[in-house]
Structure formats: structure tokens, C-alpha cells
Structure 1
Amino acid sequence: MTLPDPKALLRQLYQAAVDRALPARTLAAELPPAPPRGRTLVLGAGKAAGAMAQALEAALQSQWPADAPVSGLVITAYGHTPPGYRPRRLELVEAAHPVPDAAGQAAAQRMLALCQGLSADDLVICLISGGGSSLLSLPASGLSLADKQALNRALLHSGASIGEMNCVRKHLSAIKGGRLAAACAPAQVLTLLISDVPGDEPGVIASGPTVADASSCRDALAICARYRLSLPAAARAGLESGAFETVKPGEAFWAQQRLHMLATPQMSLEAAAEAARALGLAAHILSDEIEGEAREVGRVHAALARAVARRGQLFAKPCVLISGGETTVTVKPPPSGQALGQGGRATEFLLACAIALDGEAGVYGLSADTDGIDGVGDNAGAFLTPSSLARARALGLNPRAELDAHNARGFFAPLGDLLITGPSFTNVNDFRALLIL
């Protein structure tokens, strides 16, 4: 068996995972065969929303009459509009992620306004993907955008899981937690989703703007207490009184709504595994739901890789171990005199994995976010090779110190081992692959 260069092989698997999640592959098949009796309103939010809108417009052009009344508003992240896409019937707005900005707030306000006056003859198509929680930012009554921005930053640094973060976000929102769906009633609503969350829970993706929510204000308060998050007075009052409660199951209008998953992390991991097997390489999917501190998850993956490399336990080499999910990074102040570095959860995972492997022969790795952006840097992730630590030390880098400073990007950049792809126009969360030769 002759395999490509390890880094090229790992990048090939990453690309297979991303390609499987592109909306152009799956969206057209989920549209109604004909337009409704009334009008069609398209609403969307997320990092993949621009590509979803592009796929939708292409499908409508070929499947529906040209005079069918279609309009709408879609919000995506800055730089995430597909190259060459010029909306014909829809308006596409870019806004900030992961901390919301005024552009996202204004677009969310307009989106709610567009829902006014809908009838039972109308159809609303909602295009929802990861990132929508910050892009679709409309603070609850009494809260300001600055309040939401401060809370978002605190949540991102807290170590809370995506489910916990979005429980808080949806309760402090005027549009998420099922509120967008309520505003669309009595129209029919079709929500098309690209999942970026462990377990593919629709109510967690983008904080569930069109999904009934069973969590409570009390749950949101408990999460804030658990992570010692400071709440503005208006937020605490709304949560404690129950005034900020989300839309619950049982409302009559839910009967007019349906959901469909266009892409999930598991689908993408399976595509990567199939690509590996096509090269004659055994591929094993560990899980698509791995959560926890990125550095701890990195150490566990290193232990699994060592077991394969040294003893042939679990699996025989050569093989590739593939996993997904969403890790977290609890940002702590670095040691005295050291600045806080750059690095998202994918690169922090990989640096911790590299330290634990300590140059293990024959083990290579890639960890990246499938949206093409790891945290707020310009890289999707990074590569690991058996020589990573030795090359870094030769440059004067201290791997442990870089990890403690959350400077994983700064560790891999001088090695030439960053994976830089630009936005992928989809988002099914973390992709990790360890190649054991």
C-alpha cells in the first residue's frame, strides 16, 4: 500500500469532511416541489447561511416558476459570502462572529419585521447553521447590545459547553429559543439545518430560533452561577421572574413547522472515513460528540494513538482515528509577565496532543474547524508530525509555556504547520484525525 504524504493525506480527509457538508450537495432535494399558494419568505443565519442561500436560489431557479414570489433576508459572518454569489431575490447581510455587533442586531430586527402579516398560505424557509447565535443577536427587553457582547465574551472564556452557552443566549434573546417561529405563525415553516453541535440537537444549533425549547430561565440562571458569570440587572430580573422564558412545546403553530438536517458532523466523519478507505487505509470513527476541555481531549487522543502505535491495541496500524464534536477552552490568565496568545480550540487540542505524544514515531495529526476558522485567527487548524516538538524547541519555543498561554497558533505558525483554507462556507464543527503508520 502506497499512501500520499501524511500531511497531504490528512488534508484530503479534512476536505472530504467539508465537502460532504456543503449545502449545494443536499439542499435542493429538501425543497417543496412547488411554491405555496401565497408568498415564500426566506430567513437565515449562520456561517453557512450564505452558501445555503446560494444553493436555495439555484434550486428555486430550476425547480419553481420564475414568477413565484420569493424574498427574504439572510445573515452570515464577515467574509463568509461565497465568492461570486450575487443574490437575486434575497438580501444577504454580513455581521460579526463570535461576538455580536450592531449589523447583526439591525438585521435581526428587520428579520422579525419581515414576519409581520404572514398568512397560512405563505411559506417561510429558514436556513440555520452554526454561528447563528451571535449573528442573529437581538437582546431581550431591557438589555443592550453591549450587555450581550460582554456576556458572549464571558461565555466563550468560561469553559461552558455549547449547549450551556446557547441555553443562556436563547433566554436573553428576543428572536432565538423558538421566538422566530412564533413570529412566523400562522405560516408554514420549513427549517433546513446544518448541525455544528454534539448530538445534533436542533434547539442548540444557533440557539434554536425556530425550535421549541424545553429549558427554563431557572436553567439559564444555574449555568450563569456555575461559571460565575456576571449578569446585568435587567437580565437577572428577567430570568428570575420568568419574563424571559422561551417558546415551549405544545403551541398550536408547531404543527405547521418541520425540520430537516442537511448535514451533520457524523455525515462528514463518515465521508472522511470513506476517503481513507478508498486509499486502502483502515479508518475508525471514535465519536462525533466529543466534548470537554480541548487540552484534556488532546491528551486522551494521544493515549489512544500510543496504544495503537506501540501495542496494536484497539486497532492495528496503519490506520487513522477520526473524531468530531466541540471542545471548549477555559481561558485563564497566563503566567506572570507572559501575554495571552492566539489559538482556537482545534489548535489547543493539537498542541496538548503533541506534548502528550512527545514525538511518538509514526503518529501524525490534523485538528481543524470545518468552517475554516479556528477561533478568531485566519487558520482552520494545524498539523502535527513526530518532529513537531523538536522543531519547535530548535526555534526556542517552550511547548508547555505556549499551551499555558493559550498560544497554540503561535506555536504551530513558525513550524509552517498551520492549515489555512479560508472560510469553507459550511460548519459541522471540529474535525480531528490521527494517522498512525
Structure 2
Amino acid sequence: MSDPRQFLRGLFDTAVAAADPLLRVPEYLPPPPRGRVLVVGAGKASARMAQAVEQAARDGWADDVEGLVVTRYGHAVPCERIEVVEAAHPVPDDAGQRAARRILSLVSSAGPDDLVLALISGGGSSLLALPADGLTLADKQALSTALLRSGASISEMNVVRKHLSSVKGGRLAEAAYPARTVGLLMSDVPGDDPGVIASGPTVGESTTPGEALAVLDGNGIDVPGPVRGHLLAASGCPSPDDPRLATTENHVIAAPWQSLRAAADAARAAGVTPLVLGDAIEGEAREVGTVLAGIARQVYRHGEPASAPCVLLSGGETTVTVRGDGRGGRNVELLLGFALAVGELPGVHALSCDTDGVDGSEEIAGALVAPDTLARARALGLDAAAALAANDGHTFFEKLGDQVVTGPTLTNVNDFRAVLVV
């Protein structure tokens, strides 16, 4: 293969394109209502999803369309009928709180003849930030930061977010009753559980406030008194069988497996055997990198489970337990673990990127690893092990010139990883 890096980047671009909201949204739009179409949404893909709805309206789907969606700073796109506002991710800010309050007010105005179309994608948990009564945005900011640093899984974090919110855990759909609510969801979570995507604003919740408190205590989080008091006294989110959710339906319109399948088809067309390891791989990022390196070694040495050239494809969402103060993200953390474990094995290349174009808190999708990565690092005075210990993957790959920078992709179906053995 003449250019492994170009091949891997092409697979990533293919995976992202397969999850374009302009491609995914139209086929899931419900019949238009007798009344208004109120479009609301939150997430890194919400603005592009709103664009898709507006395009469908121009093509004759519906006439009376209005609404408001909130997306990450820098991820807005022009819309005519649906207002797009920006807010902070991954730690919420006041802009997200104001947007959530306006969205909740808008859906509360809906009547039985109206349709509430909820455009939900990854990142919505932070962007749709309206604390429960008695709590403050500062409480949520502190807990979000602590959870992100703790290594808690996305499912654990979202349990906490739901029970501290006035809009998540089915409360958005509850507020929209008796209107029909249709949630169009783009999955960025392992397992594609609608209740986990953006903390499920249109999905009833079966966990309890006590379980949320157990997540905080189990991860060693210092819980402020008002938060502990709220979780001890709260009645919980609306349950899945709550009659106020009877007029709500949810559809996962894009998921990691679809993007992996598209990448696999592209690899096969290029004469490379694809092996899809899974779309829901979780765990500590550096440890997942070590496991992927072990599989790559097996392929290189023994031709099992496939002979070279082959590409190992996977998706999911790993976690990072923050130990240092570097510039990191779970994809570059995974690649550091991979590079150290695979060493300078010839013919082994890897890419790991977030499909939304943001790994961690920076506008960097991820990076690439090649057989000469460690040698080039040594020549520049870089220490991969030290970078891993400091959670400083972005600095490491930036100095090597191996970052993948896409800008906002306007979609989000979690992380994409490809390990090429030639």
C-alpha cells in the first residue's frame, strides 16, 4: 500500500460521511401534524439536523416549522426558521442554561395538534443544562468536571445528569405533553440506548436518585450539600410507562455500527480485509490501546484472525482517568497506549478519532500512529511514556505533525478506530 495514512484517513472520512444528518434525518421524519411543528434539539449534530429538517420543509414536508436548537461553540450552521444557539461542552455554561430554559418553555406551549420534533445527539447532556429546582449551574459545573476527571463511564455520568436536571431523563417529553413528541437520535454511546444519548430528554428513566448518588460516591466525588440533599429527597424522573410519555416515540437514526459498516465496505473495495471488532468497546483508553496492539501483533505474526493486508475497525467510548495536567483526549490517550505496546512493528498503522471532530476539549479529532512514531519522537526529544503519564497526547502528536484536524464535522457517532496491518 503506497500511503497507509491516506488510506486510514479515507476510512475515517467515509465513516463520518455515513452519519451526515442531511443523509439520515429525512427518512425518519413523521407525517406533518394538523398544527405546528416545533423543532428543538441539543448536541454537536443538532444544527446540521435542523438544516435537514428545513430542507425537508422546503421540499414540501411541512409548512409551519419553527424552533430552537443548541450546539457546541463553533458547530452552528445557518438556518432560516429554526434558531441555532451555541453553548459550552463538555462543562455546561450559562448559555446552555438559557437555551434549555427557552426550549422547555417552547415545548410547554405545544397542544394536542402540534408535533414536537426533538433533534438529539451526543454532547446534548452538557449543552442542555437546566439544573433541577434548588440547584445551581455552579453545582452542575463542579460535578461535570469531577466526573470527567474520575474515569466514570458515560452511562454513569448520564445517570447523575438526569437526576440533577429539569429537562433530561424524559422531562422534555413530559413538558411537551399532550403534543406528539418524536425524538430523532444520533447515537454516540455504546449500545445505542436512547435513554443514554444526551441523557435521554425524551426517554423515560428507570434509575433512581439514590443510584445517581451511589455513582458520585463510588467515584470519590465530593458531593455538595444541596446536591446530596436533592438526591436524597427527589422523587425521580418520569418512568418509561408514565402516561405523559405515551405520545412520545424515539428513533435512533444514526449509530456507530453504520459508520463502521461503511468503512468496512470502503476497505474491502480497496482490497483490504476488514475485521469489525465491535461498535461498543469501552474501558480505560490506554488499556484498550494495549489490547488493540496485541491483536495487531497476532495478525502480523500469525495471519490470524485474518492475513495482511487487513484493517481492524472498532467504535465505542473509552474513558480516561486524569492523572496529569496535559492536553489530552481519549483517542490520543488510546493511541499512546497502542504505540507503546506495539512498538516499532513494521507494517502496523493506526488512527483513532472522534467523529464529531473534537477529542477531549480541543478542536482536534485525534491522531495517527505509524511504525516510526516512537523513533521520530525520540529524535525530537519526546517521551511517549511520559506523555501518557501526563495525559498529554495532543501535545505529543502535535509535535510529531500527526494530528487529525477536521474542524466541526456536524455529526457525532462516537469514536472511530482503524488499525491497518500490511
**TM-score normalised by L of structure 2:** 0.98
Gaps of 5+ in 2: none
SS where residue 79 of structure 1 aligns? coil
Instruction: Provide the residue aligned with 1:122 in structure 2.
Output: 114
Instruction: Provide the residue aligned with 2:46 in structure 1.
Output: 49
**Are positions 1:375 and 2:360 aligned together?**
yes
**Are positions 1:17 and 2:15 aligned together?**
yes
Quick one: distance in 2 between partners of 1:259 and 1:115? 16
Quick one: distance in 2 between partners of 1:193 and 1:113? 21
The residue type paired with residue 78 of structure 1 is Y
Indicate if the aligned counterparts of 2:299 and 2:308 stay in contact, CA closer than 8 A.
yes
Quick one: distance in 2 between partners of 1:41 and 1:378? 31
Instruction: Provide the residue aligned with 2:58 in structure 1.
Output: 61
The residue type paired with residue 58 of structure 1 is Q
Gaps of 5+ in 1: 335-339
The residue type paired with residue 251 of structure 2 is H
Equivalent position to 2:145, from 153, 174, 186: 153
Quick one: distance in 2 between partners of 1:14 and 1:47? 18
**Are positions 1:312 and 2:303 aligned together?**
yes
Quick one: distance in 2 between partners of 1:288 and 1:4? 28
Instruction: Provide the residue aligned with 2:88 in structure 1.
Output: 96
CA RMSD of aligned residues (A): 1.0
Equivalent position to 2:231, from 228, 239, 246: 239
**CA deviation profile, 1:168-201 (whole Å, cap 9, x unmatched):** 0110001101000000000001100100000000
Quick one: distance in 1 between partners of 2:191 and 2:109? 35
Q: CA deviation at 1:280?
A: 1.2
Quick one: distance in 2 between partners of 1:299 and 1:6? 21
Q: CA deviation at 1:367?
A: 0.4
The residue type paired with residue 96 of structure 1 is A
SS where residue 246 of structure 2 aligns? helix
Q: CA deviation at 1:160?
A: 0.5
Q: CA deviation at 1:253?
A: 2.8
Instruction: Provide the residue aligned with 1:39 in structure 2.
Output: 36
Q: CA deviation at 1:32?
A: 2.5
Instruction: Provide the residue aligned with 1:431 in structure 2.
Output: 416
Instruction: Provide the residue aligned with 1:337 in structure 2.
Output: none
**TM-score normalised by L of structure 1:** 0.95
Instruction: Provide the residue aligned with 2:389 in structure 1.
Output: 404
Q: CA deviation at 1:347?
A: 0.5
Instruction: Provide the residue aligned with 1:251 in structure 2.
Output: 242
Number of equivalent positions: 422
SS where residue 199 of structure 1 aligns? coil
**Are positions 1:80 and 2:65 aligned together?**
no
Instruction: Provide the residue aligned with 2:337 in structure 1.
Output: 352
Percent identical pairs in the alignment equals 55
Equivalent position to 2:314, from 307, 320, 323: 323
**Are positions 1:139 and 2:131 aligned together?**
yes
Quick one: distance in 2 between partners of 1:286 and 1:117? 46
The residue type paired with residue 112 of structure 2 is A
The residue type paired with residue 166 of structure 1 is N
Instruction: Provide the residue aligned with 1:415 in structure 2.
Output: 400
**CA deviation profile, 1:131-181 (whole Å, cap 9, x unmatched):** 000000001111111111111000100100100000001100011010000
Runs of 4+ in 1 over 4 A off after TM superposition: none
**Are positions 1:71 and 2:71 aligned together?**
no
Correspondence 1:196-215 to 2 at 5 A: 196-215=188-207
Instruction: Provide the residue aligned with 2:3 in structure 1.
Output: 5
SS where residue 113 of structure 2 aligns? coil
**CA deviation profile, 1:66-92 (whole Å, cap 9, x unmatched):** xx222111000000113xx2x211111
Given the superposition, is the C-alpha separation of residues 267 and 4 from structure 1 closer, same or farther in structure 2, using an over 3 Å criterion?
farther
Q: CA deviation at 1:4?
A: 4.7
Quick one: distance in 2 between partners of 1:117 and 1:362? 60
Pick which of 138-147 and 199-208 moved more. Answer: 138-147
Indicate if the aligned counterparts of 2:57 and 2:65 stay in contact, CA closer than 8 A.
no
